Structures are given as structure tokens and as C-alpha cells.
Structure 1
Amino acid sequence: MAEQSSPDWMALARRGRRHRMIFLGTITVFLTLVSLPVVMPYLWLLTMSVTTLGSAAVMQVFWRAAGLVAVLYLALIVLPPLMPERFRTWVPAMAAAAAVILTTLFILPLTTLNNFRFLWNPDVMAAQQGRSSTIGELPSIWSAMGNSFALAGTQTALILITATPAAYALSRLAFRGRETLSRGILLLHAFPVMALTVAIFIQSYWMGLLNSILGVVLVLTTLELPFAILILKTFFDAVPWDIEMSAVTDGASRWQAFRLVVLPQVSGGLIAVGTFTFLRGWEEYVYVTTLLIDNSHMVMSLYLFWVSQDAMGADPNLIAATGVIYLLPVVALYVFAQKYLTQISFGGIKG
């Protein structure tokens, strides 16, 4: 019998690296093409907020910013997987330094903060509003932002306070009807909430909650609660039962085991659910339009809508500047919570 030749391990390794590069390249090209329609409008919004409509600087700033984003995309996302491990640690720092230098030299000299003057000069928005007799008196943007933070923050707190024990009970406690209750919560989550708009308006009117931030908070909390319970239940399901029982065996009460042992294990889930809930409240438009009648209770989503109306003069730079202010809390919250958002999976906690 002829002696079987040993495999060429070097050739196999080269083939593996080649296949890996082809796979990563294909995925990168696909994700780049898919993300372009999403990224470009935001880049245009940012450009319009720091330039003047009709000036030659608009397109210059836009294309220079697009080039800078492309360079950062290559340096931080495309190239690191293809680099040796020893080079990956200093690439982000070098890319950040290059971005600061390029922005300072080629973009900042062409920009202006004049479009944001309504932040410290309320007369700007008053003059813009003076072109219309169909829009009531607008509050300051700081008032609208405070209302939005109050709405989203209160809703998030109520959701976490109520959804956490409910999800724990569905995950840990054995009682008759638990599966039926879980299926009912899933059905509530799948129900189209737009169908309830008229009924919620009438009920809010009879309960005296119309034109009240509290009324909107209660409505949004009720509508978002099934989603929060279902997500948190998957996190509780992923916590080993033995950990909790060991704490109980060592003398801890069920409440102490829940508070000191189980909750720290699902902290990522709590942050992720809190983030989604806050963003849902911050971006809500339908129910704040339906339930908030007085402009004194205006939130940021409504404020941005009224600023963009033709009756207000429809100043594109003013609209863009307001949109950037509207997006800043969302971006800041995402940067803080991004590592927790990736943990959400309907199958539990991913490693």
C-alpha cells in the first residue's frame, strides 16, 4: 500500500487566509452599500446645520466630511481585521488624531454656528414664527427638551420598576397559568398600537389626563411594558438557577437573592431595555400629537415638526440645526449603551 502523503499545512493555511479575506471583503462591501443610504442623510443634516444655504461652502463641507468619514471607516472598521494583532491597538488613536487635524484644517474654517443662535437667542425663533398666524406660540427649545427628558425618563423608570419583577416572576416562579400569561403578553406586544389611538384619546379625556405629560407617560408605559417583560425574561432565563439557590441555601432570603445575586447578572439587559425605552419615549410622535394639545407641553419631536412647517418659513438651516440638537441625546445614549445593546437576543444573553 502506498504511503499516504501528509497534507500541506502551509497551503491549507494560505487558502484559509485567502478565503477569510474574500469573506470579510464581501461582507464589508455589502454592509457599506447598505449603510450609505442611511449615513448620507445624517451627514447632509450635519452639513446644513453648520453652513448657510446657497453658499459655496455647503458642498465643500459635505464632500470633505464624507471623505473624512470614509477614511475613518477604512481605518476603524475595514482595515483592523486584516491587520496583524500588534498594529490594531494604535490604529484607533492614529485615526482619531488624523480626524481632528483634517477637520481643523479643511472643514472648520468653512463652518458657522450661526444656525444654532436660537439656543441662546429666543428672538430668532420668535421672528421665524412671526411669519405665520396659524401656529400658536412656541415654547423655547429648552422647555421642549425638558419635557422630552421628563417624558422619556419617567417612562423608563416606570418600565424598569414594573417589568423587572414581572419578568422575574415569569422566569422563576411556578404558578398556574404562567404559560398562558406569557403568550398573552406576546400577543399584546404584537397588537398594532395605532388601532388604539382613538380609544386612548377618549379614555384620557374622561380620566382627566388629556394635555398632560403624565397621561402620555402612562400610555407609553402600558404599550411598551410587554416588550420590556419579554426581553428581560430572556435575560432571567439565562441566569443559572443554581446561583440563586446557593444564595438561598447560605441563608439569604428570596428578596436578597434576587437583589444581590440575580439582578447583577442581568444588569446589561436592564441597561439595554432602559435604553430602548428611553429612545422610544424621546422619539414618540403619534401619541404626543394626539394627547398634548397645549404648546406649553410640547416635546422635541413636536418642536422639530413645527419648525419644519412651511408656515414657519421652512428655513433649511434652522431645521437642520434643530434636528442636530434633537439627535444629540440619542447619539450620547447610544455611545454609552452600545455594548449592552448587542447583548439583546431573543435566545438569551450572548457571550
Structure 2
Amino acid sequence: MSYKIALVKGDGIGPEVVNAAAAVLEKTGKVFGHTFEFADVLAGGCAIDLKGEPLPEESINICKNSDAVLLGAVGGPKWDSLPGELRPEKALLGLRKALGLYANLRPAKLYPALRSHSPLRSDIARAGIDLIIVRELTGGIYYGERGRRESKTYKGEEAYDTERYSVEEIERIGLRAFELAMKRRKSLVSVDKANVLESSRLWRETMHRLAKDFPEVEYKDMLVDNAAMQLVRCPSQFDVIVTSNMFGDILSDEASVLTGSIGLLPSSSVGDGKVGLYEPIHGSAPDIAGQGKANPIGTILSAAMMLRYSFDLPLEAKRIEDAVGAVLKSGLRTPDIAGKEEAVTTEQMTNRILGFI
């Protein structure tokens, strides 16, 4: 099979980690008989420098005509003084909107070789972490009505943001989560704040209705404050978590810290169309750009997610994931996870992973 992949290398360490992931995809393609056609796409700060805008129309069209998009990172201090609509981060929001992406998938996995890097107590870390958070991406309080006005109760100005969800929005994210649970360990936790928020009560009602169509999935509700505690107390209990935009934003960042380094973690944004957006969760790290210090694993694992979720190639995805696990077990470390051990470069880490594929 042949697949078209748009490469949004972006800023900072983005080009380094995307090049590493592309090399891994090419090697995997040779092993399994697939061809990957790559197209470079301008977006972020580099697009501002060359085109005067963070996401040129040409870049959107290339992404729409691809089978998937792999993104490195966008942004950096160089562009921090620009007005909001011209900031590099607008490229990411623009791509999500243009591609109709409403579900953010954020895995968190603690590799046995890196248990000592987790901030968790050793007995909790030994029990393992292998979960994925399904975050609703285009609704909720981040997209609701907002503004400022004179307060009628207190002196001066007040600000407000509105949490809003429709049944349709909840159903589509819920279906994604149940379908994902069916492909994993058949366990789903829906996180809300139904004891306080009306939007969460509608969320819970809708999820309960969906659960009837997936009797094989062990489903339960959990309040967000309890979920935040349980992620630290006993993360091994979780398989798939589904939640709203703001709760998912917070819980996915909490989960990422438990694994030892954000440089290891992938993510994807998907919708009803064929094109998904895959990216590591780390930033552009301009302070180490071009020095060979970047950890490429998060981007390489994002490429594995692409194979699994956009191309339906689970064996190929597992080959990459197993290669990453084998390299970490061998003791190879980039600076972010090296501690007192000797660190290797981005290229050395990539080459070792290629050797295990």
C-alpha cells in the first residue's frame, strides 16, 4: 500500500524529531511492503517568517489531500510579541478546524526500564501505567460564550466563560472512546462533574445511553476530582478515559508527568474524516534546537499511532512500539531521561530504534 503523509516540521526541534520519525516510517514500510510519500508543509513560526502567516492556504490544502499529518512542534520566543491571531500556535488550531478534528487521543505509558524516572512511589510504578485519554477537542468551556461586564453583585468588572455541550458532540466523542476500548482492554471510565454541572449531567446521561450498545465494555463514571487523585494513587486501574475539553486538558498533562518524560509521549487528533493529525506532546524547545539533544521517541510513537488509527496497520505500529521498548530496555537514553548516565544524540537514538525494526 502507498500512503501520503504531510510533514509539518515546524519550529525548534520539530524538524529533527519529524525527520527521525520519517526515517522510522520508511524502514517500517520496507519491512512490511508499504510506501510512504512525504510532503513538507509550512506551518508555525517558520511559515510566519516566509509567508507572513502561521498557516498558509497552500499548507491546508496539502494536509487535506494527504492520508495523515505528522507535526513536530510550533512556536518559540521569537514570535511571542506577535498579536494572538498571528502567533505560531494558531497553525495548530487552524489545522484541527480545517481537518474537522474533534477527538484528542493522549496515551500515557510507563516503560519498565524507566520506572525510576516516574515521580510515583515505587510500588505504584511497578504496577504499571498503560492508559489513553480521549479528550473532546472542539467544544466545552474553551469554545463557549465569553466576555466581560460590569458586575451586578460586586464592585467593578467581572469575566465569564460558558461551558456548553450538545448531545451530538457527546455522542461522537463517546463512540470514539467505546470503539477504542473495544480494541484495548475493554474498560472505559467517563470523567465529569455531574454533581455540580448541568453540562456534565447531560454528558453522563448520554454516555449511559451509549454504554448499552457496548455490553462488553466495563463502563463507569468518575468525578473529575476523584479521577485526578486516582491517577496518582492507582493509575494501573485505567484503560481508556473519556472526558470533556477542559478536564481532558488537565488530566492528560497530569498523566504525562507520571511516565518520566514528556519527550516520550505521542498524541493524535482525529475526526470523522480519514485525515488525522499526529504529534508529540512536547513543545518546540528552541533552547536545544540543532544540538542533537531532542528526544525523538514521542514523534516516533506518534507515527506508530498514525499507522494504527489512520492506516489500520496494527502490526506495523506494534513493531515500532516494540523497537522503542527494546531500545529503552537496552539502556540508551537521550539527555531528558539520562539522569547521571551517558546521553546519546537524537540521531543515535533514532539509528538504534531503526536497528530493532
Greater Rg by CA = 1
* TM-score scaled by length of structure 1: 0.23
Kindly indicate whether structure 1 or structure 2 has the higher relative contact order, using CA contacts under 8 Å at least 6 residues apart: 1
Instruction: Name the structure with the higher strand share.
Output: 2
* TM-score scaled by length of structure 2: 0.23
Instruction: Name the structure with the higher helix share.
Output: 1
